Amino acid sequence: MFVHPSSHVFKPFKYKTLEDLRNELKRLSIPLPINANTENLREAIQSKHINIPNRLSIQPMEGFDAKLNGSPSELTYRRYTRYAKGGAGLIWFEATAISEDCRSNDHQLILTEENVNNFKELTSLTRTQANQTLESLGFKNRCRLILQLNHSGRYSKRNGKKNPIRAYHNDELDNAISVKREDGIIISDEELKEIRDIWVNKAILAKDAGFDGVDIKACHGYLISELLSAHNRKNSEYGGSSLENRSKLLIEIITKLQNKFRKDSGFKVTSRIGAYDGIPYPNGFGVKSIANQTFPASVDLEEPIELINKLYELDVKLLNITAGNPHYKGYITRPYDIPVKGGRLPKEHPLFSAYRIIYLTSVIKSLISQDMIIVGSGYTYFRQFAGNLASGLIQRGMVDICGFGRMSFANPEFAKQIFQGKTIDKAKACISCSKCSQFMREGKSTGCAVRDPEYINRE
């Protein structure tokens, strides 16, 4: 369905005008729509399930600046205040651990009974500020706040030390983060059931904390995402050849939550789904079941679409789509010009990498029920032209909302700039230098070293 063009070689971002970008896309035969006028990004989503004031979102971005007990710190408040001043209608809060032992960093947020009031304060301040900003920009609808809840799975750490909690063995993924088989465990079905119940309780707590909805994270190689590709998990209710088994943890959590919330006043249950990870069969998801493929494996969206249809039946009407395992080969998730230290440049053009994730999302959008609202990912690479791309995609119905990750660290006011000035400020845009990912790998707080040195050079 999606052929890898071996003729595309890597070329960094050098486009000065929309025309330059259009010409390069044309040269590469990449049919991405780029609009000069971005007015349509102001349109609200008004369905009977959810209202969102405009078409731009902050994507979840772990800041790793929480207190050791998992509560938001001053730096966390700073980040969310910056987002709230930015004008995006949807703020998707970063991966927050469901418990202490499944964090990927000692400073990751954790939602607990003890600190729910701290989260309440964070949502309240974010909401007040975001609504003020939206009002000042002429929007009628109120902002929406979603919390992403996660179990870091094979990327879990304990006391700063790698402690992989795996769905199955994959030596290549182990090598990528320098761990050995004996460094961690394969999680048992019994433990998965305990995790399921903790996840449900934490999601219920997210409502008490003032969020409008909760994301049961199923992407980027973390626990639920790894289960989706667990063909090699033997003798387990949560693995093997059937998608029903491999998606069982996600479906069980969501079913329990919908039974609790369905009649409730609008609390949304959603998921960020990794629809394709590029990892060859049998260890990949959204890939063709052909043996001996090389990375990135051929796309096959049959299972992701089957899963999404199942979620739709469970009354999930908002989904965030992403791709790749950023701990393995990051360019599928976040196309870049400069890799993390020791990393490699991909053997493909970054505009092609960006097109892959955008195209996959649009195929999914076209094959599922039209009232499922889809948030797409991976637009930051387009820098000052990202709003022009978002506008083109939304006009063609290829996605409903465009979510920004690295751009939100670098330039949290990107949405305001689009709404006011029609284009993102070039001097503030993310330059895809991978420093934020580098900080993540080093176990430090993340943030933008280039555009927000105040955050990086604090103390």
Ligand X SMILES: Cc1cc2nc3c(=O)[nH]c(=O)nc-3n(C[C@H](O)[C@H](O)[C@H](O)COP(=O)(O)O)c2cc1C
Residues binding ligand X (CB under 6 A): 59-62, 94-95, 148, 219-220, 272, 322, 333-334, 377-381, 404-407, 436-437, 440, 446
Instruction: Give the residue at shortest CB distance from ligand X.
Output: 405
* 236/408 with CB nearer ligand X: 408
- Please measure the distance between the N-terminal and C-terminal CA atoms of the chain and give it in whole angstroms: 51
* 8/406 with CB nearer ligand X: 406
Residue 175, C-beta contacts closer than 8 angstroms, at least 6 positions apart: none
* 62/252 with CB nearer ligand X: 62
Using alpha carbons, list the distances in angstroms from residue 445 to 6, 8, 430, 440, 449: 37, 35, 17, 7, 11
* 186/278 with CB nearer ligand X: 278
Residue 17, C-beta contacts closer than 8 angstroms, at least 6 positions apart: none
**DSSP structural state of residue 58:** E
Q: Closest separation between CB of residue 148 and ligand X, Å? A: 6
Closest residue by Cα to residue 48 from 436, 285, 370, 334: 370
* 95/228 with CB nearer ligand X: 95
Q: Closest separation between CB of residue 437 and ligand X, Å? A: 5
Q: Closest separation between CB of residue 298 and ligand X, Å? A: 22
* 86/405 with CB nearer ligand X: 405
**Encoding tokens for residue 341?**
């230290």
Q: Closest separation between CB of residue 219 and ligand X, Å? A: 6
Please state whether beta strands 45-46 and 51-52 pair in parallel, antiparallel, or not at all (unpaired).
antiparallel
* 248/383 with CB nearer ligand X: 383
Using alpha carbons, list the distances in angstroms from residue 284 to 215, 246, 278, 309: 22, 12, 6, 20
Amino acid at 37: N
Give the total residue count for the chain.
459
* 64/281 with CB nearer ligand X: 64
Q: Closest separation between CB of residue 237 and ligand X, Å? A: 26
Q: Which residue has tokens 């629809």?
A: 275
**DSSP structural state of residue 17:** S
Helix, coil or strand: residue 6: coil
Closest residue by Cα to residue 360 from 429, 294, 308, 430: 308
Gap between the Cα atoms of 327 and 441, Å rounded: 9
Helix, coil or strand: residue 185: strand
Q: Closest separation between CB of residue 270 and ligand X, Å? A: 12
Give the Cα-Cα-Cα angle 438, 441, 443 (nearest 5 degrees).
115
Q: Closest separation between CB of residue 261 and ligand X, Å? A: 22
Amino acid at 211: F
Give the bridge partners for 56, in sequence order. 402
CA atoms within 13 A on the CB side of 260: 16
Q: Closest separation between CB of residue 389 and ligand X, Å? A: 11
Q: Closest separation between CB of residue 61 and ligand X, Å? A: 4
* 317/435 with CB nearer ligand X: 435
Gap between the Cα atoms of 82 and 392, Å rounded: 27
Q: Closest separation between CB of residue 440 and ligand X, Å? A: 5
* 139/379 with CB nearer ligand X: 379
